[in-house]
Structure 1
Amino acid sequence: MDTPEWHKFVTVKLENNEVKVGEKPIDYYGSLINNYEIFNKEYIKGGVNIE
């Protein structure tokens, strides 16, 4: 079993030609239902046609 301090996401990004390493808690993103409703309003309204 992993220790609690290992229970996280490790983030890596390239910024100004330098590699930056960070971390985020596993539950950093909040509620899935609320985020879906905020960022997918067109789908909920039925205004997006995927073909």
Structure 2
Amino acid sequence: MKLKNMPKIKARNPVALSPLLQKGGMHDSEKPRAQHRRDRKAMKCELKSKNWL
């Protein structure tokens, strides 16, 4: 009886899970005006949710 060779298992790359390598911020494909609009809308929602009285 012949034993099959076990496939080699690669170790996971711990650097790949780093938060510094995650997406974030403005991308080249994103228009600055769209980013500005999103920021303004988020600020508007934040101000609306506060209790001013």
TM-score (norm 1): 0.29
Select the structure that is richer in helix: 2
The one of the two structures with greater contact order (alpha-carbon pairs below 8 A, sep at least 6) is 1
Instruction: Flag the structure with larger Rg.
Output: 2
Select the structure that is richer in strand: 1
TM-score (norm 2): 0.28
